[in-house]
Amino acid sequence: MDDIFLPSGRLRPDILDEATTRVLREALGHTRATNWDSVRTPHLFMGLLAAPDSGVFKWAGKLGADLPGLLDQFRDLFHQSNAEPVPPLLLNREFLSDNVIRLLRDAHGRASDCGRGVLTPMDLLITLFTTPNSIVAECFERIGVTAAKLTELAVLAERDAPIK
**Where along the chain do its domains lie?**
14-80+88-160
Interatomic CA distance for residues 40 and 43, integer angstroms: 5
pLDDT digits (tens, 9 = 90+) for 8-50: 999 999 999 999 999 999 999 999 899 998 999 999 999 999 9
Q: Which residues of 9-24 are buried (b: 16+ CB within 10 A; e: fewer)?
A: eebeeebbbebbbbbb
- Global confidence as pTM: 0.93
Question: In a 3-state reduction of DSSP, which class is residue 67?
Answer: helix
Does 14-80+88-160 carry CATH code 1.10.1040.10? no
According to the model, what pLDDT value does residue 1 have?
41
pLDDT along the chain (164 residues), means of 10: 84 94 95 91 98 96 95 94 74 91 96 94 96 93 94 93 61
- Beta bridge pairs of residue 16: 119
